[in-house]
Amino acid sequence: MSTANISYLSWLQIARLGLVQASLGSIVVLTTSLLNRVMVIELALPAILPGALVALHYLVQLVRPRMGFGSDQTRSASPWIRGGILVLASGGILAATSIILLEQSIILGIALAIVAFAMIGVGVSASGTALLVLLAKRVDPKRKAAAATCVWLMMIFGFAMTASISGKFLTPFSFERLLMISSTVSVIAVIVTFLAIWGMETPAESVEKQAINLAHEDLQKQNTKVNFREALAEVWQEGTVRSFTWFVFISMLAYSSQDLILEPFAAVAFGYTPAETTALSGLQNGGVLVGMLALAFISSRAKSKNLTSLRNWTIGGCLASAIAMMGLVLSGPVASSLFFKTAVFFLGIFNGAFSIAAIGSMMQFASLGSEKREGVRMGIWGASQALAFGLGGIVGTGLSDIARIVLGNPATAYAFVFLLEAVLFVLAAYLSFQTRPHKQTNELSKHLVGA
């Protein structure tokens, strides 16, 4: 079976799928940031409430493997993307409605918010997993990193545009305006998603899909009914899946643990004002953007295998991130604001490079295996990432509080957590080094191993 028969996505089609990711991000950013702020400031509710709701939406994403299995069974990602965005949009509208209800009744408002955030988690799981499965199947292996960069930049664009436009229309603020804006964003996201994936998977591709299936398994095995638990057990037996799952969890735990403590560290160690810490966050995100774009450009243009290998970029990015974290640790004793800002910027660059390389590797590894189980594999890794992000904030802030009690000095306590994160990045690099695709017997899989 020649890989020449595979219908790869064009850059225009990849950009269209990026619009889907941007739509997902536009709804999520309203619920995890704006509604968070409204609950704490306007409603004067304990900060633990929105924190618990955000954690709930991550916890629900443990259903991602089941969503991926459903995508495998239907052999089509589009229905899951459509269904997921509808559930996500409904959850977004209900979340805004719960804010209004909280004014009238705390109990009913919290109950509706729990339902809404659970729906958000389910919607993100269904759409996000199916979208990654579609990319894994239909993107040229040489374009994996660039495609991942394109899609994730579109997501960031969705974050930024939604936050900017919503902020303008929310002035002057009212709960009715909040509901109107949330509803409008959700409806627009659904429309954009439906249009973006229109014709992405056409009946004309059925012959190619069948040929690809036959390259992986005979027709008899393909038609055998397998339940979710059996499929999950089969996939988990693959060494690549297990080691990459641990890599995703450890690397994303290290990646997310510093989110909630970097700005407080800047305040206690260097006396940064709120405006200066906000600018610091912008500096770090600018570095992430540079790292993503650099990886996409170099990996798609370079001739050397060492420079096009996503595995090398992942390992190098993790090790470099560990070095940058050590820069944060040393910035206190050095007592130089310039040294600190430089470390933050380079941390952003290395985080951006390793995260895109990891996503590209995820897209490659998802297509490897004796069974057509791309959705289950992608779901396992997505669930691992969601769990890491959900725990990241708790681990980072919790450890810093414990370290503060033990060490006494707040700046030293934060630096201790940065040191632990550096160790996690080194461990993630080792796990990435240990992750090797198992041997394939067919020509298609040999080609997909690529980088």
Residue 74: both structure tokens together = 């239907």
Distance of CA 392 to the CA centre of its chain: 13
- Sign of the alpha-carbon dihedral angle for 396, 250, 416, 350: negative
CA–CA separation, 281 vs 251, rounded Å? 20
Residue 176 CB neighbour total at 10 angstroms: 9
| SS3 (DSSP) at 450 | coil
Residues 383 and 65 sit within 8 Å (Cβ to Cβ): yes
Percent of the residues in the chain that have a pLDDT greater than 70, as a whole number: 87
Could you tell me which residues come within 8 angstroms of residue 200 by beta carbon, excluding any fewer than 6 positions away? 13, 16, 17, 78, 134
Domains of the chain: 8-217 (1.20.1250.20), 228-437+444-451 (1.20.1250.20)
* pTM score, whole prediction: 0.79
* pLDDT digit string (tens) for the chain, length 451 residues: 344 455 788 888 899 999 999 999 889 888 877 787 788 778 888 877 887 888 899 999 999 999 988 888 877 888 999 999 999 999 999 999 999 999 889 999 999 999 999 999 999 999 999 998 888 888 887 777 788 888 888 887 777 778 778 777 877 888 888 899 999 999 999 999 999 998 887 644 444 454 445 444 443 454 456 788 888 888 888 888 899 999 999 999 998 888 778 888 888 888 888 778 768 877 888 888 899 888 888 877 766 665 567 888 899 999 999 999 999 999 988 888 999 999 999 999 999 998 888 888 888 888 776 567 888 999 999 999 999 988 887 787 788 888 878 888 888 888 898 999 999 999 999 999 888 655 443 333 333 333 3
| Per-residue confidence (pLDDT) for residue 347, from 0 to 100 | 94
CA–CA separation, 17 vs 131, rounded Å? 7
| Per-residue confidence (pLDDT) for residue 61, from 0 to 100 | 93
Would you put residue 385 in left (φ > 0), alpha (ψ -120 to 50) or beta? alpha
**Angle made by CA atoms 46, 48, 50, in degrees to the nearest 5:** 95
CA–CA separation, 285 vs 171, rounded Å? 26
CA–CA separation, 94 vs 57, rounded Å? 14
| Per-residue confidence (pLDDT) for residue 393, from 0 to 100 | 74
| Per-residue confidence (pLDDT) for residue 231, from 0 to 100 | 87
| Per-residue confidence (pLDDT) for residue 269, from 0 to 100 | 87
Distance of CA 259 to the CA centre of its chain: 14
CA–CA separation, 53 vs 115, rounded Å? 10
CA–CA separation, 132 vs 122, rounded Å? 15
| Per-residue confidence (pLDDT) for residue 225, from 0 to 100 | 63
* Residue 18 parent element (H or E): helix 11-29
Q: Phi, psi at residue 349, to the nearest 5°?
A: -60, -50
**Angle made by CA atoms 442, 377, 62, in degrees to the nearest 5:** 175
The length of the chain, given as a count of residues: 451
CA–CA separation, 336 vs 326, rounded Å? 14
Residue 101: both structure tokens together = 């209800």
Q: Which residues of 65-103 are buried (b: 16+ CB within 10 A; e: fewer)?
A: bbbbbbbbeeebbbebbbbbbbbbbbbbbbbbbbbebbe
